[in-house]
């Protein structure tokens, strides 16, 4: 443990403001980035044995891309009735329910999507997001880990995996995931800030300072990174005799 580390980590924990409720996760996740959030077309990701695409799926996809949510939901629900074994219908519908904060429905649909086709990274990630939103961090970490196996260079998957592990106090694993995340996309201030806290938790004060500084280079207005850096540097200064 770093000298004075317990007090510092408590202070950092407050400054980090770990908001683990559904509203935070929906805002801080890929859901806040619509282009990144859109599931891929089924042909590019589905690896299970081919299942005939139901007639209503194309209508749902078109409505989804146009952000006509009610129309998309109705079409995907109809697609499931037409072909219950077509995994992408569940995947898209899970995402739409997550975006509407219907987390229990998103989890149910997400589980069915990965059951039908366990080789689609975004389906696992959508399931993980819904599990995070209900504070089931252990299940979320497992889902994100599955997604990371399938998409090892996907920034959002690695970021979410690291954050879930961080909330579970599995700091060494969290650090590895977050360092992979900033390698995949080094321009995300929020991830550098979280990485700084995780580095501090694992006894790497210098690495923490570096991460907080990187967060502030990317976003000088990042309040948490600024406060975390100040607290960490203050703790590092020699005390007057």
Q: Per the structure block, which two tokens stand in for 73?
A: 């939901």
Separation CA 106–CA 100 (nearest Å): 9
Domains and CATH numbers, the chain: 1-20+153-236 (1.25.40.10), 38-134 (1.25.40.10)
Please compute the mean of the pLDDT values over residues 52-68 and round it to a whole number: 96
Q: How confident is the model at residue 4 (pLDDT cuts 50, 70, 90)?
A: low
* pTM given for the model: 0.82
pLDDT of residue 235: 78
Q: Each residue of 115-166: pLDDT tens digit?
A: 999 999 999 999 999 999 999 999 999 999 999 999 999 999 999 999 999 9
Q: Could you give the C-alpha distances from 8 to 3, 109, 133, 162, in angstroms and in order? A: 9, 42, 28, 21
């Amino acid at each position: 443990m770093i000298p004075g580390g317990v007090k510092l980590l408590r202070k950092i924990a407050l400054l980090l403001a770990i908001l683990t409720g559904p509203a935070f996760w929906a805002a801080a996740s890929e859901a806040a980035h619509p282009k990144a959030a859109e599931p891929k077309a089924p042909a590019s990701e589905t690896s299970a044995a081919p299942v005939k695409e139901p007639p209503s799926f194309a209508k749902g996809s078109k409505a989804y891309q146009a952000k006509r949510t009610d129309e998309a939901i109705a079409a995907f629900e109809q697609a499931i009735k037409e072909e219950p074994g077509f995994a992408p219908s569940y995947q898209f519908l899970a995402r739409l329910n997550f975006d509407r904060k219907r987390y229990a429905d998103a989890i149910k649909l997400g589980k069915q999507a990965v059951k039908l086709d366990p080789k689609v990274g975004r389906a696992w990630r959508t399931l993980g997001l819904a599990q995070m939103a209900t504070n089931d961090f252990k299940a979320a970490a497992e889902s994100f880990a599955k997604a990371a196996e399938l998409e090892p260079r996907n920034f959002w998957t690695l970021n979410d995996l690291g954050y879930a592990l961080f909330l579970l106090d599995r700091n060494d694993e969290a650090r590895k995931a977050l360092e992979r995340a900033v390698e995949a996309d080094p321009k995300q201030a929020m991830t550098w800030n979280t990485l700084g806290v995780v580095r501090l938790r694992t006894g790497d004060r210098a690495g923490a300072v570096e991460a907080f500084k990187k967060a502030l280079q990317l976003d000088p207005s990042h309040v948490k990174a600024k406060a975390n850096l100040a607290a960490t540097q203050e703790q590092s200064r020699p005390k007057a005799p």
